[in-house]
Chains A and B, each alone.
Chain A
Amino acid sequence: MSSKQGTSLVTDLARARGLGASHTGTEHWWEQRLTSIALVPLTLWFIFSIASLAGADYATVKAWLQQPLSATLAIILVAVTFHHAVSGMEVIFEDYIHTKCAKLTAIIAIKFVAVLGAVICILSVLKLALGG
C-alpha cells in the first residue's frame, strides 16, 4: 500500500481498477447509451405507426400487429424500452433516495416490475401475431 505522496488511502490495486465508491464501472452508462441509440429508430417507427392508426378499428390494429415486421419491431421496442426505462429510473433512485435500504428496495422493485411489464407486453404481441 505504497502511494507516491504517502497520504492517499487508495491502494494501488484500487487505483489501477479505477472504480470509485460505486464498485462498478461504465457498464450501466454504456448500456443506457446503447439502448438509447436503438430506441431512436424504434420509437420513431412506433409513434408514426400508431399515429397513422389513430381512429382505426380493431381489425386494422390487429392486422398491423400481425405483420411479421411489426410484431418483430414491437417486441424489440418493448424489450429495449423497459431496459432503458429501468436504467433511467435506477439513476433517479440513486440520486434522490438517500437511505441505502430504501434505495436498494426501489431499484430491486423497478427491475422486477419492468420484467413483469415487458413479459406481459411481449406475450400480448405474440398472442396477436401467432393467434391468427
Chain B
Amino acid sequence: MSNSSSRPLSPFLSVYKLEPSMVMSGLHRITGFALTIGLVLLTWWLVAAAAGPDYFAVIQGLLGTWIGKLALFGWTFSIFYHLGTGLRHLAFDTGRCLSKEGIVSSGWTVVVAAVGLTIVAWIIAFIA
C-alpha cells in the first residue's frame, strides 16, 4: 500500500468519542510495546548475572537508583496490566464479558488487580 492513497488508514480513531474501554485497549498495546523494550533490560540483567559479581553490581546499582526503581515500578505495573487485559481478551475470545456490563466490570477488575498485584510485588520486594 502506498502513502499517496487517500483511503483512511488504521488507526482510524478520530471519529470516535473516547471511551474507557478504548483507553484500556490502547494501554494494552502501549504496555506490550513498553514491555518489549523492557526485554533489553531483562537481557542485560541476565548477561550481567552470567558475567560475574563485579558487572552484576553495576546493573544492580543502576536499578537501585530512584530512576531505576521508577522504571522497575512502571515495568511491574505494565506486566500486571498487560497480563490482566490479556486474560480479559482471552475471555472475550471465548465470547465472555462481551455485554456492556461485562466490558465495564471486567475492565475495572483488571485495573484493580493490576494496581493490587503491583503493590503486593513491591511490598514483597521491600520486606525481602
By a CB distance below 8 angstroms, the chain B residues around A36 are: 86, 90
User: Please, what's the 1-or-0 string for A40-56, where 1 marks a CB less than 8 Å from any CB in chain B?
Assistant: 10011001100111111
By a CB distance below 8 angstroms, the chain B residues around A109 are: none
Contact of A58 with B9 in the complex, beta carbons under 8 Å: no
Q: Which of A3-11, A12-20, A116-124 contacts B (4 or more CB under 8 A)?
A: A116-124
**For the side of the interface on B, what is the size category?**
35 or more
User: Please, what's the 1-or-0 string for A78-96, where 1 marks a CB less than 8 Å from any CB in chain B?
Assistant: 1001100100110010011
Complex Cα distance, B32 from A95, in Å, reads 14
Contact of B124 with A51 in the complex, beta carbons under 8 Å: yes
Q: What's the least CB distance linking B9 to chain A, in Å?
A: 6
* Interface flag for B24 (CB, 8 Å): no
**For the side of the interface on A, what is the size category?**
35 or more
Contact of A98 with B3 in the complex, beta carbons under 8 Å: yes
By a CB distance below 8 angstroms, the chain A residues around B93 are: 33
Complex Cα distance, B47 from A120, in Å, reads 7
Interface positions, chain B 15-38, Cβ under 8 Å from A, are 29, 32-33, 35-36
* Interface flag for B53 (CB, 8 Å): yes
Partner of B49, one of A39, A65, A78, A99: A65
- Asked whether A53 and B86 contact (CB < 8 A) given A96-B11, A99-B2, A124-B49, the answer is no
Partner of B124, one of A33, A48, A78: A48
* Interface flag for B65 (CB, 8 Å): no
Chain A residues within 8 Å of B, Cβ to Cβ: 33, 36-37, 39-40, 43-44, 47-48, 51-56, 58-59, 61-62, 65, 74, 78, 81-82, 85, 88-89, 92, 95-96, 98-100, 117, 120-121, 123-125, 127-128, 131
Chain B residues within 8 Å of A, Cβ to Cβ: 1-3, 9-11, 29, 32-33, 35-36, 39-40, 42-43, 46-47, 49-50, 52-53, 56-57, 76, 79-80, 83, 86-87, 90, 93, 121-122, 124-126, 128
20 A–B pairs (Cβ distance < 8 Å), ordered by A = A37-B90, A39-B83, A40-B86, A47-B76, A47-B79, A47-B80, A53-B128, A54-B126, A56-B128, A58-B52, A58-B53, A58-B57, A61-B56, A88-B36, A89-B36, A99-B1, A121-B42, A121-B43, A124-B46, A125-B50
